[in-house]
Amino acid sequence: MKSQSPIFKHPTLQILERCLTLATLKQVHAHMLTIGLALHTYPLSRLLLQSSKLSLPYALNIFRNIPNPTIFLFNTLISSLINNHIEHTHIAFSLYNQILFHYNTTLRPNSFTFPSLFKACASDAWLHYGQPLHAHVFKFLEPTSDHFVQASLLNYYAKCGKLNQCRYLFDQISEPDLAMWNTLLAAYTRNASFDDADMSLEVLHAFNELQESHIRPNEVTLVALIGACSNLGALSQGVWAHAYVLRNNIVINRFVGTALVDMYSKCGCVNFAYQVFAKLPERDTFCYNAMIGGFAAHGQGHQALELYGEMKPEGLLPDSATIVVTLFACSHVGLVEEGCKIFESMNNVHGIEPKLEHYGCLVDLLGRAGRVNEAEKMVQKMPMKPNAILWRALLGAARLHGNIEIGEVALKQLMQLEPETSGNYVLLSNMYANFNRWDDVKRVRTLMKHQGVNKAPGFSLVEIGGAMHKFLTGDKTHPFSKEIYWKIEEINRRLQEYGHKPRTAQVLFDMEEEDKEDALSYHSERLAIAFALVAAASDSSSPIRILKNLRVCEDCHAITKLISTIYQTDIIVRDRSRFHHFQDGTCSCKDYW
């Protein structure tokens, strides 16, 4: 007589796995009841799992009729709910509450209960449940004893942007695997920005730690690393990361390729970015968006439009982000009619409903071209309520073309939407200063003080020998501060020899002209340029690369063009919205920024 197969290998379970309809599953279920297979925990777990994929109500009905479900069955259904029916997360938590209700009698949460629940907590709707759930981990488990619980906790805090807790938890893990490292790196990258360079620096430090652990990075790791280099504008580290990819035969798929395109673009090397883009074996819409965005930021609007036109022959359709970067490209070189046609094609051709960001690009496009009244009408008649970005674009256009009336209307709206954002007040102050309306400048500054608004400090980063150096306006904390200020004096003398007249209207205070000139001399990018000239005294062949958190002022723009001629050096400045390539006394933006 043949021995009976172990229950977990029973042939009925194999048939169960192949059920594709609820009708066939019911037949198998009936057979399991007939032969007594449904009395055992493991077959029941497989039945719950398969039925929950085909019909959640049927699966819940099965579960309700189990006399004393084990924690294993609870965990199976909770996991299936969150993996296959995230919209019914509330049922998963209801099941968890049942576990807690029976805690003192038959049930106790274990290490398989929590990972799925923490996965659910990473969504916005359930975010606030994560920390109480973490407390339950301490109550029911030894939190450092289970790898999967640690990983789920790490992922939860990473997704909700709590980086200090994320790093603390990571440091408690004795031997983190690559997935955990990638979670940490991605968390830093996701929360990084140019205004907060520390997050990107943390990615670089963490990557060094990863290398010391002798774990081999994969493409996910490298995407995070390259993204950090993009935010920092750290070209040498970005080139090293690219070389690392090639040296270790890591596949440059569309994800790594897009990251490299973005990195080279944001580090001022748009030609290198295009070389990477052109050699990618496969390109998707995200790759095109990165390259079009790169051309846009570097003022190469015609190249951006040409690339936009290549998408359809490649079998790719533009998405919402494609339209944004293409309109941005048109805006920064004055391609107004082309931009308007692309905007009109969104709904008519591509079936993309324009969103606030698209209207913002259109307002910027019209405003930069001097069509300020038309831009204002667009803001007033758009089908949704304009946000701060649109009003700021209109205020910027009004400042650029001296339309004080529209500028005041825009600021009034911005004060209601963003009363604490200093840049809005500064734009209007600059406009008043251009017309020597110093009483109005004082009024705006008094208003800022009354609202408790402080002007965002301008800072610039410059990369020298692979190290990033940060300068604030008027900064004297750098170890080479004395040499930097000597160089500033030299630069000012040589600028005067070239006939430069400082554009003192950029200074917001009603002060003597000589004092205004001094104030302009110590803007953060000038200190960064001076330091780069000091550091590269024996070698001026490499371009100076500056990253600035604010828009470049008109006087700094004018003197940087002259410096590129006087010192025969190329200077690349990335401000908050675009790149400026200064060479032989000219700028790539053609003074249209």
Do 238 and 230 meet the contact criterion of CB atoms below 8 Å apart?
A: yes
Return the axis-axis angle of helices 422-434 and 404-417, rounded to nearest 10°.
Answer: 160
Question: What are the structure tokens assigned to 258, written together?
Answer: 């897009």
Q: For residue 586, give the H/E element and its range.
A: strand 586-587
The residues pairing with 547 across neighbouring beta strands, listed in sequence order, are 461, 574
Q: Is 160 helix (H, G, I), strand (E, B) or coil?
A: coil
From CA 210, how far away is CA 560, in angstroms rounded?
Answer: 40
**CA–CA separation, 431 vs 410, rounded Å?**
13
Closest CA to 410 of 372, 381, 443: 372
Side chain identity, residue 459: F
- DSSP H helices, 498-553, are 513-521, 524-535
Query: Which amino acid appears at position 295 of this protein?
Result: F
Instruction: Assign 40 to helix, strand or coil.
Output: coil
CATH level 3 topology of 355-456: 1.25.40
Are 52 and 116 in contact by the 8 Å Cβ rule? The answer is no
C-alpha 533/C-alpha 527 separation (Å) is 10
Three-point CA angle 36, 37, 40, nearest 5°: 105
- Distance in angstroms (rounded) separating the CA atoms of residues 277 and 279: 6
Structure tokens at 82: 């969150």
pLDDT, position 357: 92
Phi, psi of 137 (to 5 degrees): -60, -45
Handedness of CA 83, 86, 88, 92 (dihedral sign): positive
pLDDT of residue 3: 44
Tokens of 79: 């996991």
The torsion angle over the Cα atoms of residues 162, 166, 169 and 175, rounded to 10 degrees, is 170
SS3 of residue 446 by DSSP: helix
Exposure letters 88-103 (e unless 16+ CB within 10 A, then b): ebebbbebbeebeeee
Residue 313 is predicted with a pLDDT of 92
Site of tokens 């003074």: 591
Instruction: Name 460's bridge partners.
Output: 471, 548
Q: What is the DSSP string of 454-510?
A: -PPPPEEEEEETTEEEEEETT---STTHHHHHHHHHHHHHHHHHTT----GGGS-S-
**With contact defined as beta carbons under 8 Å apart, do 441 and 432 qualify?**
yes
From 483, 420, 490, select the one nearest 448 (Cα to Cα). 420
Contact of 157 with 191, CB cutoff 8 Å: no
Which has the closest alpha carbon to 183: 212, 214, 211, 218? 218
Query: In the chain, which segments carry CATH 1.25.40.10?
Result: 355-456
Query: pLDDT 10s digit of each residue in the chain, 593 long?
Result: 344 457 778 889 999 999 999 999 999 999 999 999 988 999 999 999 999 999 999 999 999 999 889 999 999 999 999 998 888 899 999 999 999 888 767 788 999 999 999 999 988 888 889 999 999 998 888 756 688 899 999 999 998 888 899 999 999 888 899 999 999 999 998 887 655 668 888 898 999 999 898 899 999 999 999 999 998 888 888 999 999 999 988 889 999 999 999 999 999 899 999 999 999 999 999 999 999 999 999 989 999 999 999 999 999 999 999 999 999 999 888 899 999 999 999 988 889 999 999 999 999 999 988 899 999 999 989 998 999 889 888 988 888 888 889 988 988 888 888 877 777 787 778 778 877 888 888 888 888 887 777 777 788 989 887 788 999 988 889 999 999 999 999 999 999 898 887 665 555 444 444 434 445 568 899 999 999 999 876 556 788 989 888 888 888 889 999 999 999 999 999 888 788 999 999 988 877 76
Sequence-ordered list of residues with C-beta below 8 angstroms from that of 547, at least 6 positions apart, any chain: 194, 232, 233, 460, 461, 462, 573, 574
Phi, psi dihedral angles at 460 (to 5 degrees): -135, 145
The SS3 call for residue 89 is helix
Question: Does residue 449 sit in helix, strand or coil?
Answer: helix
467 CB-contact burial (10 Å; exposed 0-12 / middle 13-18 / buried 19+): exposed
Tokens representing residue 362 in the block: 């259109």
